[in-house]
Amino acid sequence: MSVDEERRSTRVKRLPREVRERQILDAAVRVFSQYGYHNASMDEISEVAGVSKPMIYAYLGHKEDLFAACIRREATMLMEAIAAGVTTEQAPDMQLWHGLRAFFQFVGEQKQSWRVLHRQATSQGGPFSEELLAMRGRAINLVDALLVRSATTRGEAPAKSTEALAAALVGASESLADWWLDHPEVSDKTVASWLMNLVWMGFGDLVTGTVWTPTPE
């Protein structure tokens, strides 16, 4: 071992495991989002992270495990960002607005995260779609809880459609975020307000009982 190598090895060893793991995951998200899962190489991730391949394998496993760990971490960060934006003291429309704002802010600031989470994980399929499904499930529950609270606050029994509408809103948000990746000239606030305007009146109706009905033909 040369002096240089020894010095580097000593320095590397001093880093606590969580710091090392964060370095690896940061690098992996960058490389996966740039090259896609299939074309991303562990050599490249190792180089970007400044962590040797054997150490990556020891800490986070092989490419498939590493990719799954990226999805889990980025999904958790996204959910935390949304939860941090919303407090239950706010009026229902403001809760939804802040939730949407937080979502599009996260996607805008963490475009690499979103690419890995949504585009890469979707196009890779297999075990990764399980991780994605779990994340979607959590997001749907969050919105569902908001809609149920919103109805019960007004002293009404929540409609049984809240979970379905929560699923619709999550799908709409994902799809719109995907559209937005190709239209970066639009601000995150504008995108959020489009979606808010699209759905809020509908959610409001759900609570007040106003309905659209087809005109007789």
Residues that bind a copy of itself (CB under 8 A): 91, 93-94, 97, 122-126, 129, 136, 140, 161, 163-165, 167-176, 178-180, 183, 186, 191, 193-206, 211-212, 214-215, 217
Contact status, residue 172 vs residue 199, Cβ threshold 8 Å: yes
Shortest spacing between CB 63 and a copy of itself, in angstroms: 15
Residues in contact with 44: Cβ distance below 8 Å, sequence separation at least 6, in sequence order: 31, 35
Shortest spacing between CB 184 and a copy of itself, in angstroms: 13
From the number of C-beta atoms within 10 Å of its C-beta (0-12, 13-18, 19+), residue 181 rates as: middle
12 or 167: CB nearest a copy of itself:
167
Q: Is the dihedral of CA 58, 62, 65, 69 positive or negative?
A: positive
Helices then strands, counting H and E runs in the chain, come out as: 11, 0
| 126 DSSP assignment | T
21 or 131: CB nearest a copy of itself:
131
Contact status, residue 14 vs residue 35, Cβ threshold 8 Å: no
Shortest spacing between CB 186 and a copy of itself, in angstroms: 7
Residues in the chain: 217
Shortest spacing between CB 41 and a copy of itself, in angstroms: 18
Shortest spacing between CB 152 and a copy of itself, in angstroms: 19
77 or 159: CB nearest a copy of itself:
159
153 or 175: CB nearest a copy of itself:
175
